[in-house]
Amino acid sequence: MSDDGFHVHGPHDHAVEHAGHDGDSFSSKLAVMTAILATIGATFGYLGGATQNDAAMFKNNAAIKKTEASNQWNYYQAKSNKQNLAELAAVLPGVDVARYKAEVERYKGEKEGIRKDAEKLEAASLDWDKRSDKVMHEHHRWALASTTEQIAIALAAITLLTRKKWLEIGSYAVAALGIVIGITAWLHIELPGL
């Protein structure tokens, strides 16, 4: 209500506000259903947002591990270059061949550890990517459940205005579908096509 006492109600607001006051059980039933669906839809929306945040965090972790792996591969390449220079130096006339052959062996040993570290980091990056993809799929299911509940609420509002029984049944059916999608998302049950 504004300061001067003037307030404009929409048709749905008016019907919900006065539901039950005039003995209209149809309006009361739809008002309660709308409130319940709004709560369920908000919960689905929250869970969808949480999974989206997790997916972004996991994708970020994957990028960090990929960068670390790239750094290790660069380090590996630097050791390979030093090994190649030592191999080249070992065949030059008048040099201490034993020294350069020892350096070649040292670089080979160092490279092996670096290679293993780089491969572990790449594997970790792939694991984070897979986790992100899985959680993003969950996000899509939560978003679908939330959207379905919003559609059911809209149908309930239209039903309240038109008082069509087939719209009421449709609203309940869409609401039930949204709840089923939400439950399967919660239980991590895969549905074909979702």
Give the pLDDT of the chain (194 residues) as one tens digit per residue. 455 555 555 555 555 565 545 568 889 999 999 999 999 999 999 999 999 999 999 999 999 999 999 999 999 999 999 999 999 999 999 999 999 999 999 999 999 999 999 999 999 999 999 999 999 999 999 999 999 999 999 999 999 999 999 999 999 999 999 999 999 999 988 877 76
Q: Please indicate, yes or no, if residue 191 is contained in any of the structural domains.
A: no
3-state secondary structure of 20: coil
Q: Please indicate, yes or no, if residue 11 is contained in any of the structural domains.
A: no
Q: Please indicate, yes or no, if residue 1 is contained in any of the structural domains.
A: no
* Closest among 57, 62, 54 to 130, alpha carbons compared: 62
Q: Please indicate, yes or no, if residue 13 is contained in any of the structural domains.
A: no
Please count the CA atoms within 13 angstroms of the CA of 174 that sit on its side-chain side. 22
- Helix %, strand %, coil % of the chain (to 5): 85, 0, 15
Measure the CA–CA gap between 19 and 163, rounded to whole angstroms.
14
Measure the CA–CA gap between 174 and 123, rounded to whole angstroms.
43
* Closest among 34, 56, 2 to 171, alpha carbons compared: 34
Residue type, 188: H
Q: Please indicate, yes or no, if residue 3 is contained in any of the structural domains.
A: no
Write the CA distances from 81 to 45, 104, 126, 134, integer angstroms: 54, 10, 28, 40
Q: Please indicate, yes or no, if residue 12 is contained in any of the structural domains.
A: no
Which residue range(s) make up the domain with 51?
22-186
Q: Please indicate, yes or no, if residue 94 is contained in any of the structural domains.
A: yes
Q: Please indicate, yes or no, if residue 103 is contained in any of the structural domains.
A: yes
Measure the CA–CA gap between 111 and 114, rounded to whole angstroms.
5
pTM greater than 0.75 (yes/no): no
**Domain tally, the chain:** 1
Measure the CA–CA gap between 36 and 169, rounded to whole angstroms.
16
